[in-house]
Amino acid sequence: MRTQPGNFVAAAYPPQQPTGTPLVFGNYEALALIGSGGMAEVFAARPRGEVRSPSIVAVKSIRSSLVTEPKFVTMFLDEMSIAAQVQSPNVVRTIDQGVTETGAPFLVMELVSGPTLAKLLRAAAPLPIPIVAQVAAHAARGLHDAHEAKGKTGASLEIVHRDMSPQNILMGMDGFVRIMDFGIARATERFTQTQQGEFKGKLSYFSPEQAHGPGVDRRSDIFSLGIVLWEALTAKRLFRGKDVAQTFTNVLKKPVPSPLDYRPDVPLELANVVLRALERDPERRFATAAEMEQAVLHATRDIEIPEPTEFGVWIDELAGNPGAALNGRIAAANELPLGLMADADDLRVSTEMTFSSTEAWNDAAPTIVTNTPMGEDRDPDFANSSESESRTRLKPSFWARLAQGWRSFWR
């Protein structure tokens, strides 16, 4: 199974169980490899000890081959630090963190059952209005909790996610929608900072100010969430163009039509919430994600939202009843009855791998993350979309022309 550079792909083949000496992450022992990417690996794991616990977790650890690469280790430590300080029912929960005896940092997270929104969109876009309403309210709440997070001194961390996309929204079978992956989030306590000429995130989910440069605040995430909701309602891609340059231009200039233009059953108030989130002038957007959440709740007040358990069943059915095979393999590895196991399907728990090699840290040329491999996935419909991203290097001459265009546009 071939993967795109920098892209996390859940194991499509039977997960590999550790053999011989157990693979240990502090107080946790790996059961099975459930995913890997260019920067890290993710294992299903259980607490160590004489008494086995049915509490299965996800452990994300940097690849052993990168332990000696300071920039990758620092980036991973940044993610660990940020994730540990965000507390919200709508953010994937961090349980523990540490460093192995071989010097590899690791992050222990709750193992949440459910597909990503990207997977759900490919299976069932456009989504039913109640599901979009739940995604909108829960994701906005998770973003607000992250934006409001404070460090140990009580000072605001000023977190900006910068990668709010369907791949980083997890649809929990427990009825909760969670955001995940703070690997490229901006925060005051990061050891590494975005360099001039470097862009982080998925291009077709950029806000205009994110495309313009590294100076963004929480309202950038609100714009990106607006793109996600617009696409979930319409089953169309809003800004993605035929190439990088066109996508940049679309983010900066393309008129944003109302979701009602493609789907008449969208409530007018909900469509207006999405359009306000997509205002190119940050001053005209919602000031906070909490304000957006309240607007969503008001706009969908007459829509019947299923109870959490019903919502989970609905999501499972729409996504094609995922997870049974991998769930069974982890259950067998842990020698526990299936009834005690959490569903471990394609969880993507905070595992969107951002960089694939040290080449990505070459400051000689700008680097951008596109939402699709170049030359592939031209169809705007989600049915043929890919979750893959690729890192694309632009020639300096092209970069100079594009930068000149941005300066002209923003004057």
- Let me know: does 375 contact 30? Beta carbons within 8 Å: no
Q: 380 and 265, same structural domain?
A: yes
- 167 and 122 within one domain: yes
For residues 176 and 144, the answer to whether their CB atoms sit within 8 Å is: no
Q: Same structural domain for residues 334 and 220?
A: no
Could you list the residue range(s) of the whole structural domain that residue 54 is in?
Answer: 9-113+319-340
For the stretch 50-68, pLDDT in tens is 545 558 888 988 888 888 8
Between CA 290 and CA 199 the distance in angstroms is 27
Q: What is the DSSP string of 206-238?
A: --HHHHH-S---HHHHHHHHHHHHHHHHHSS-S
Is 225 in the same domain as 293? yes
CA atoms of 264 and 261, how far apart (whole Å): 7
pLDDT at 341 over 50: no
Residue 349 falls inside a structural domain: no
Residue 159 contacts residue 186 (beta carbons within 8 Å)? yes
Same domain, 150 and 250: yes
**Full-model pTM:** 0.74
Structure tokens at 362: 């070459």
Q: Catalytic residue, from 78, 163, 221, 346: name it.
A: 163
98 and 176 both lie in a single domain: no
Residue 101 and residue 239 in one domain: no
Is there a single domain that holds both residue 298 and residue 334?
no
**Residue 108 domain-assigned (yes or no):** yes
Task: For residue 26, list its beta bridge partners.
Answer: none
Is the preceding peptide bond at 322 cis, omega within 30 degrees of 0?
A: no
Q: Please tell me which residue, 285 or 107, carries the higher pLDDT value.
A: 285
CATH of the domain at 165: 1.10.510.10
Q: Residues 327-347: what's their mean pLDDT?
A: 51
Coil, helix or strand at residue 321? coil
Q: Is residue 346 part of a domain?
A: no
Strongest mean pLDDT among 8-17, 140-149, 375-384: 140-149
Mean pLDDT over the full length of the chain: 74
More confident residue, 253 or 326: 253
pLDDT reading at 368 higher than 80: no
- The answer to whether position 385 is within a domain reads yes
Confidence category of residue 284, pLDDT binned at 50, 70, 90: very high
- Residues 137, 90, single domain; the answer is no
| Token pair of 130 as six digits | 């109640």
CATH number of residue 45's parent domain:
3.30.200.20
Q: What pLDDT sits at residue 396?
A: 40
Same domain assignment for residues 87 and 173: no
175 and 249 part of one domain:
yes
CA–CA distances in Å: residue 362 to residues 40, 100, 183, 301, 396: 20, 28, 18, 50, 13
- Total number of domains constituting the chain: 2
User: How many Å apart are CA 230 and CA 338, to the nearest integer?
Assistant: 38
Q: Which of 187-201, 213-227, 284-298, 324-338 has the highest mean pLDDT?
A: 284-298
CA 60 to chain centre: 15
- Who has greater pLDDT, 214 or 176? 176
Decide if 163 is catalytic: yes
pLDDT at 246: 95
DSSP β-bridge partners for residue 105: 99
3-state secondary structure of 72: helix
| Structure token pair of residue 33 | 């490899």
